[in-house]
Amino acid sequence: MAIVQTTAGQLASMAPAWTPTYSYGSMRLYNDYYRTYAALYREQPNVRVCVEFLARNIAQLGLHVFRRVSDTDCVRLVDHELARVLKQPLPAQFKRTRFRLFNDLVSDLGIYWNAYLLKVRVDGAMGLLRVPPDMVTPQGGLVITGYEVTIGGRKKTYSPDEIVHVYGYNPEDAKQGLPPLETLRRVLAEEDAAGRNR
């Protein structure tokens, strides 16, 4: 099967043995057996236990907003807009609590090393809505120029100031973090193969 890749807007055939090491949202375990990061989280108990442990414990910590007064002093802001949004990310009818916001944020970082929060306006107040990382594609080169979000087959592009993007380091891509599961690829592949063999 021929593999083609877009290079500078042109399609180019790649060498027969060439295969991408990963595509965002899934990884190759062995041969032609691919699993999405969500499937690995669902099927690998060790991955799920670690991610949920971190997410639950970090989400229950208090998070406050401060204004720096000097090098040695700061003042806690309880009535600031950011403090309000962090306390109640969306109005009560949406049932999205601060705990759920940070639980989801840390879980996304643990699986994808990327987390996306869409800034929304509800009843005139700002809110934060989680967008699953596999639905978002950062646009641009060394600097992010926009985010393409695909929901239900429909694509919409948001400007960088409409999305809060928390991400980690990636030596190959300045726009998004390298998923931690990539580092565990060999271990997860061995565990999966051993389970299938049994």
pLDDT class of 29 with cuts at 50, 70, 90: low
Q: What percent of the chain has pLDDT over 90?
A: 46
Closest CA to 27 of 157, 185, 133: 185
What confidence tens digit (pLDDT) does each residue in 98-127 have?
A: 999 999 999 999 999 999 999 998 888 889
Mean pLDDT for 74-100 is 88
What confidence tens digit (pLDDT) does each residue in 161-196 have?
A: 999 999 999 999 999 999 988 888 778 778 777 877
pLDDT class of 30 with cuts at 50, 70, 90: low
Return the structure tokens found at 156: 């919409």
Q: Does the predicted model carry a pTM greater than 0.85?
A: no
State the Cα–Cα distance between residues 179 and 21, nearest whole angstrom. 12
The position carrying tokens 């003042």 is 75
